[in-house]
Amino acid sequence: MRTPGRAGVPVAADVGRVHGVADESTGFSDGGAIPRVVIVDDHRLFRSGVRGELGDAVNVVGEAGDVDSAVHVIGEKQPDLVLLDVHLPGGGGVEVLRRVLPRHPQIRFLALSVSDAAEDVIGVVRGGARGYVTKTISGRELAAAIVRVADGDAVFSPRLAGFVLDAFSATDAPPVDPELDRLTQREREVLRHIARGYAYKEVAKELFISVKTVETHVSSVLRKLQLSNRHELSRWATARRLV
């Protein structure tokens, strides 16, 4: 999905907080098609709300209200991206990920939830979602996040960044796999800025690196978060049950 011409994509800013860059267009890759999206959420009102807010920014090709119908609709429509509610009847968003990803690894998932619980956030990201945003997000920000994730990048809200920093630092135990179990200094630095409420572009400016590099760092953190087997990670999430 990662188009070669990504350099031209305006940075739509980090999700969860984009106010300073409000005037920046949430535009899409110049040549890129509008992403085809399936919305999975058990609240019909919320689905239609999101649909309305997103407007023409994305092409909503389907909706589903529970795990089974979600799996069915996603398989049928083959969207670029699925907007996935964490709490769903029939096993939750994680279950959808578990059943869809092995068969359609090219489909990207962006998790959406009212919950800020660490367990939920970490759970769904480790399940394969490439980003996590809360439902209070504005339509414009959501559209930006969708484009970012559809393009193969990761979307970290400040809170998710905080969770990850916490999870990866909360140990003195030697890592099992240093490649996966530890964040590099640079990644940590990027995450700290995101946690402070900086948009990707602002992080780039702050650290004198390109936006592209910021994206690379975030994607790499995402990969570590998903692949690391450290049990501190899950233990941390359970121990911290909440926010």
How many residues make contact with other proteins (CB under 8 A)? 24
What would the two tokens of residue 157 be? 């809200």
Residue 197 binds other proteins (CB under 8 A): yes
Residue 162 binds other proteins (CB under 8 A): yes
Is there a contact between 177 and 229 (Cβ–Cβ < 8 Å)? yes
Residue 165 binds other proteins (CB under 8 A): yes
Half-sphere exposure of 56 (CA within 13 A, CB side): 1
Residue 45 binds other proteins (CB under 8 A): no
Q: How far apart are CA 109 and CA 114, in angstroms?
A: 17
Strand partners, 133: 112
Binding mask 166-195 for other proteins (x = CB under 8 A): x--xx---------------------x--x
In the chain, the amino acid numbered 40 is: V
Residue 53 binds other proteins (CB under 8 A): no
Half-sphere exposure of 26 (CA within 13 A, CB side): 23
Q: Which stretch of DSSP H or E encloses residue 112?
A: strand 108-113
Segment 3-22, which members bind other proteins (CB under 8 A)? 16-17, 19-20
- In the complex, least distance from residue 167 CB atom to other proteins, rounded to whole angstroms: 9
Binding site for other proteins (CB under 8 A): 16-17, 19-20, 115-117, 158-159, 161-162, 165-166, 169-170, 192, 195-198, 240-243
